Chain A
Amino acid sequence: MQEARSELASKLLDPKFVRELEVLRRRLEVRARSGASGEHAARRRGGSAEFQEHRPYSPGDDLRRIDWAAYARTDEPVLKLFRAEEDVIVRLVIDASASLDFGTPSKFEAATRLAAAFGYMALASSERAQVVAAGEGIVREETPVRGRNGLLALLRSLATMTPRGGTDLSRALETIVRKSKRPGMLLVVSDFFDSGPLTTALGRVVAAGHDVSLVQIVAPEEIEPAYDGDWALEDAETGAIVEVTMDATALEAYALRFAGLCEELRQVARRHRATYVRARTDEPLEGVVRRIVSRSID
C-alpha cells in the first residue's frame, strides 16, 4: 500500500515539485467558498473562533451568543459575532478527450500532473478536492476527498484516467454547475480545441459563483507547426481529415487561428476575473503552477 502510494506520488509529483507546492499552497487564494467548515475565513459571519463584531440583541437571537460580560458592563444585551470559517472544494476538471493524447510528453500527462499538483495543494490545506474527467460531457466524476489522506485516492483516480473520445467542455461545465450545491474552485485543464459554446458555459460557471482557472495545455508543435509539404491531417477525436499544403501562408493562417483561440480565452478570463494560463508541455510545471497561483492571465 505504502509502495503503491509512493509510486503514484513519484509518477505525478516528484519530491522537489512537492516542496515547491508546499510553498505555493500558502499563496493560493480561492475566491469561492463551498459552505462547510474549513480553514478558509468566509465572508459571512459564522461560528469560528475569530471575533468579528458586536450587535444589539434582537428577539429570537440565540441567547447563547449574548456577550454577558459586555451586558454587565453596558446593561445592553449585545450579541458576540464571530467570522465564519468555510472549507473550499477544488474541482479539477480534466479534459480527457483524445485530443489531449498528443505530443511528447503528451498533453494529458501534463494535464494530470497539473491536476495532481493542485489536488495536493488543496488536500494539504485540508480542503476538499474532486477529480472530474470531461469529454463529451462528464465522463467520470470522483468522490471528493479531503485532507492529506485523500491524496492517494486522488492520485489513483488521476492515474487511471485515459484520454479518449470527443470533447464537449461546455456540456461538462453545464453539468458541473447543475450538480454543484455549492460553488468552489474550478480548475479546467484542457487544450480547449473545442468548437462548442465554451464561452457561454464559462459565463454560467462564473455566475454560479465558481472561481474559475483555465489552464490551456498545448504541445509546442501546436504553437509552431514544423510541417512541410502536403499533409492529410486526421482529427484525433473525430477522425475527420483536413488536407493542407503546408506552406508559409498556410502556417501563417493556422497561427492566426490559434492566436484567435488564445485571445478569446484571454478575453473570457478578463471578463470574469478568472485565471488563464497557457502551458506548453515542454516547460516545467512549477512555473505554470506559480502563474496560476498568482492569478495571472497569459
Chain B
Amino acid sequence: MVLEFSRSFGCVETNLYGMFASASSSGAPLDFLAPKGLALLGLLVPLILLYILKVRRKRLRVASTWLWASAKRDLIARSPWKKLIAQVPLVLQALALLLLGLALARPATRGRAIMGDHVAIIIDASASMSAENVLNDKPATRIEIARHVAKNILSAMSPGSDAMLLEAGREARVVTPLDRDVVRLKAALDSVRAHDVEGDLGAAVALAVDRLKQLGGSRRIVIVTDGNLATPKALDGVLLPVEVITVGGPIDNAGIVRVDVRSGIEPTLKREQVQAFLVVANFGSSPRELYVTMREDNASDVLASRKILVGPGERQPVLLDFLPAPGDYRRGLIFDIAPHDKMAVDDTAYARVPAGDKLPVVYAAPDPEKASPWIERAIVSDPATTLKKVALGELANPGVVEMDAFVVVESACPSAVSGGDLLVLAPPPGPCFGTLVGRTLEHPAITSWESGDPRMRFLSLDGVSIARATALAPEGPTQELIRTREGTVATDISTPTRTATLVGFDVGDSDWPLKASFVLFMRNLLEQARIHRAFGVTGPARAGEPLRVRLPASAKDVEVVGPTGDKLEASIRAGLAVVPETSKVGLYKFAWTDPEAGSMVVPANLTSAAESNVTTTITTADAAKSGSVEVRAAGNEPDAHNEWTWVLALCALGFVLADVWYVTRRPRQANIDAAVPRKPPAPERRAA
C-alpha cells in the first residue's frame, strides 16, 4: 500500500493506492476528500487501552475452581482459538471505529466522472499516437500511454458497470463489445495499435453513441487521445456525456506533408526527368535543419538530396529530381528527412517513378483515316503524348492498348475497353456505360456545365453552339457534365477502375473546337489521365483508406504484400484490385500472373498536416464549445469523485450490530446432565 501525499489547490490530499486494484500498474487511487476524518482513528488507542485496563469479567466466588480450571484446560485443548474468540467484541468495535473513521474521511476513487453503467472507451489510434513521449520516466509512445490510462479507467469501474472498447483510426473499429470482465477488456486493450493514418474520432464517437443509445442507465463516452484531432468538430453535438482524456505532451515534429512525382523534361539535356515535389513542414518551436533525400526502393544509393532549414511553423517546398533509366519506370521511391524526430511516421514518404514522360493515347474510330481532326490536333498539341490511331475492331486485340493509355473512342461505345482513362465521342443510341444515349437534339443551347469537375476546370462554354447532338440520360444528376436546354450532352461515365467521359456530339458538328475551352477540356482530360497513369490508382493513395489499383483487365489473381512484408487480403474485379485496409505507410507490392505476369508498387502516405502537427491539443475551451464534453489530462485529479462513504458507513453499522448481537446473545444450552455424562474424565489429583 502506497501513501502518496500531494498538494493540490492548496490543500493536502491523501492518495491511497491499491485498495481496489493493483497499486503499481493499473490500480485506481483512493482519495480522501476530508482527511481530517481520519483523526477518529485515534480513538482506537483508548479503545484498546480500555480493553486492556477495564475489568471485563464479572467476579464470582465459587466453592472451588478446581473443576473449572480442568474444564478450561479441556476447552483450550479442544479449540486453541478460544482466546481470540474472547476478543471478538474488541475486534468488532475496532473494525467499526476504523470504518467509521475512513467513512468520515470521505474516501473516493478517482474518475467518477468517467464512471457509469455503460462506458465506451475510445482509443485514438491515429498516426500522431505513435509519437514518443514519456511514461513513468521511460520512453513510450502515446498509444502505450493511452492503453495505460484506459487500463486505469477499467480498474476504476464500479462493480456491475460494463465497458466497450473502440479504436478510432481512419475507420472506427469495435475492439470489444460491452463487457463486464475487466481482465478480458484489459487483454483486448493490448491489441490496440497506432496506425499510420489520419484519425477520425467522429466516426468512433458516432459508433459509440449508436451502441450506447439503446441502453438504459448512465452512459458515458471516454476518449483517450493526444488531443491532436484531424477533425476538430468530431466531438460537436454528441448526445451522450463525453470525457476526453489527453495523453502525451507537446513535442517538436517535422514531417513531409505532401509529395508528388511527375515526369518532366530536363531543360538543358532535353531528357526525361523525374521531378519530385515535397512539402516539408516544421511544427516545432525551433528551426530545424533537415536533409531531404530521395532513393529508389531496395536501393541504398541516394538519387537526390537537399539540405533545408525550416523555421518554426514554416512549410518549405522541396524539389528533387533525377534522370531515369527505362528500368526505373514504375519503381518505388522513398523520401526521407533526417534527422528523425519523435514521430517517425511522417519523416518518410513514398512515391513511384512515373512510367515515361509521354502519355500514350489510343484513338479508335470506325475509320482511323477519317477520325476527327479536331480531336487529333488537340492530342498532338500536347508534346507529352504519343498518339496511336486504331480501328474500332482492333481495340479488343491484345497489346493494342497499353495498361495506362488514354483511350478515345469515336462513334461507338464498346462494352470492354482496356487502358486507362476513356473519352467516348458521339456514341450511337443505346446504353453506354450506364448512360442511355437517346434522341437527336437539333441546335441544343448550352445552359450550364459542371465547373467543379476537374475535366471542366478553367473553361467556359459560353458562346459554344452545337448543331446536332444526342440526348444523354445518365443514371444520376451528378453525372451530368454539360447541360443544354434540351437535355444533357456530356456525362461522367467513370467506373471504379477509370475516369471516363461521354460527349454526346461530334465536336465537328459544333464550333467548340474553335474555342479555347475545347483545348482546355482536352488538356484537362490528358492531365487527369497523366495523373492516374503516374500513380496507377484511381483513388487517393493515403494510408487508412482502401487502396484501389487498376490492373490489366485480364488479371484474375493478385497478391499484395504490405510495407511490413505481410500478405494482405485483396479482391479483384474487372481489373480493379482493392485492398480494404492499409494501416501502414509504405510501398504496397501488387503481383499478378494470369494471363500475363506483371507487378506494380503502389505508395501509401500519411501526408497529413493535421496528424503531423502534434503540438495542437484539444483544450477545455474547445470542449466548452462542444457542450457536454469534458477535457482533462491523464493523471489529473477529476472534478468529481466516486465516494465510498456510504459503503464504509454501512459496513461500520454492520459491525456495530454484530457487536451488539455478540454481547447480548444467549448462550446455546449444552447437554449438561451430570447423571449421564459423556465419557467423564477422571479428576486431576495431586500425587499422594
Are B684 and A259 neighbours in the complex by a CB distance under 8 Å? no
- With an 8 A cutoff between CB atoms, is A245 at the interface? yes
Task: Across the interface, name the chain A residue whose C-beta is closest to B64.
Answer: A193
Among A15-23, A69-77, A81-89, A194-202, the one that faces the other chain is A194-202
Given contacts A230-B86, A256-B677, 13 further A-B contacts (CB under 8 A): A191-B64, A193-B67, A195-B683, A222-B62, A242-B72, A244-B71, A245-B82, A248-B669, A249-B79, A255-B672, A256-B74, A257-B71, A261-B67
Are B667 and A247 neighbours in the complex by a CB distance under 8 Å? yes
Q: Contacts of A197 on B, CB cut-off 8 Å? A: 685-688
- With an 8 A cutoff between CB atoms, is B370 at the interface? no
Q: Which of A236, A242, A243, A256 contacts B63 (CB 8 A)?
A: A236
Cα A200 to Cα B686 in complex, Å, equals 11
Q: Contacts of A231 on B, CB cut-off 8 Å? A: 57-60
- With an 8 A cutoff between CB atoms, is B56 at the interface? yes
Q: Is the interface of A mostly helix, strand, loop or mixed?
A: mixed
Task: Across the interface, name the chain B residue whose C-beta is closest to A240.
Answer: B65
Q: Contacts of A240 on B, CB cut-off 8 Å? A: 65, 69
CB distance from B53 to the nearest CB of A (A): 15
Are B669 and A256 neighbours in the complex by a CB distance under 8 Å? no
- With an 8 A cutoff between CB atoms, is B75 at the interface? yes
Interface size bracket, A side: 35 or more
Are A235 and B64 neighbours in the complex by a CB distance under 8 Å? yes
Are B75 and A198 neighbours in the complex by a CB distance under 8 Å? no
- With an 8 A cutoff between CB atoms, is B49 at the interface? no
The total of Cβ contacts below 8 Å across the A-B interface reads 162
- With an 8 A cutoff between CB atoms, is B673 at the interface? yes
Q: Which chain B residues have a beta carbon within 8 Å of chain A's beta carbons?
A: 56-72, 74-75, 78-79, 82, 85-86, 666-675, 677-688
* Given known contacts A196-B685, A255-B674, A228 and B666 CB-to-CB distance under 8 angstroms: yes
Q: Lowest 7 A-B CB distances belong to which pairs?
A: A259-B677, A193-B64, A255-B672, A260-B680, A259-B680, A252-B670, A253-B71
Are B68 and A254 neighbours in the complex by a CB distance under 8 Å? yes
Q: Contacts of A193 on B, CB cut-off 8 Å? A: 63-64, 66-67
Max chain A Cβ within 10 angstroms of own Cβ: one of B62, B78, B666, B682: B62
Q: Contacts of A170 on B, CB cut-off 8 Å? A: 688
CB distance from B332 to the nearest CB of A (A): 88
Are B86 and A256 neighbours in the complex by a CB distance under 8 Å? no
Are A195 and B685 neighbours in the complex by a CB distance under 8 Å? yes
Q: Contacts of A227 on B, CB cut-off 8 Å? A: 60
Task: Across the interface, name the chain A residue whose C-beta is closest to B683.
Answer: A261
Are B682 and A242 neighbours in the complex by a CB distance under 8 Å? no
Q: Contacts of A259 on B, CB cut-off 8 Å? A: 674-675, 677, 680
Task: Across the interface, name the chain A residue whose C-beta is closest to B666.
Answer: A228
Q: Which of B56, B79, B670, B686 contacts A195 (CB 8 A)?
A: B686
Q: Contacts of B72 on A, CB cut-off 8 Å? A: 242-244, 250, 253
Are A233 and B669 neighbours in the complex by a CB distance under 8 Å? no
Cα A246 to Cα B62 in complex, Å, equals 14
CB distance from B61 to the nearest CB of A (A): 5
Among A25-33, A41-49, A57-65, A99-107, the one that faces the other chain is A99-107
- With an 8 A cutoff between CB atoms, is A258 at the interface? yes
CB distance from B683 to the nearest CB of A (A): 5
Are A245 and B64 neighbours in the complex by a CB distance under 8 Å? no
Task: Across the interface, name the chain B residue whose C-beta is closest to A246.
Answer: B667
- With an 8 A cutoff between CB atoms, is A139 at the interface? no
Q: Contacts of A235 on B, CB cut-off 8 Å? A: 62, 64-66
Cα A124 to Cα B526 in complex, Å, equals 154
Task: Across the interface, name the chain B residue whose C-beta is closest to A199.
Answer: B685
- With an 8 A cutoff between CB atoms, is A282 at the interface? no
CB distance from A221 to the nearest CB of B (A): 9
Are B56 and A230 neighbours in the complex by a CB distance under 8 Å? yes
Q: Contacts of B70 on A, CB cut-off 8 Å? A: 257
Cα A268 to Cα B424 in complex, Å, equals 133
Are B688 and A256 neighbours in the complex by a CB distance under 8 Å? no
Are B683 and A252 neighbours in the complex by a CB distance under 8 Å? no
- With an 8 A cutoff between CB atoms, is A288 at the interface? no
| Chain A to chain B contacts (Cβ below 8 Å), 24 pairs | A99-B64, A102-B61, A191-B64, A193-B67, A194-B66, A200-B688, A222-B63, A230-B57, A231-B58, A233-B68, A234-B59, A234-B61, A235-B62, A248-B669, A250-B75, A252-B671, A254-B672, A255-B673, A255-B677, A256-B677, A257-B68, A258-B67, A258-B680, A260-B682
Task: Across the interface, name the chain A residue whose C-beta is closest to B671.
Answer: A252
CB distance from B58 to the nearest CB of A (A): 5
Cα A228 to Cα B675 in complex, Å, equals 22
Q: Contacts of A232 on B, CB cut-off 8 Å? A: 57-60
* Given known contacts A195-B684, A257-B71, A264-B683, A251 and B60 CB-to-CB distance under 8 angstroms: no
Q: Contacts of A263 on B, CB cut-off 8 Å? A: 677, 680, 682
Q: Contacts of B667 on A, CB cut-off 8 Å? A: 228, 246-248, 251
- With an 8 A cutoff between CB atoms, is A207 at the interface? no
- With an 8 A cutoff between CB atoms, is A283 at the interface? no
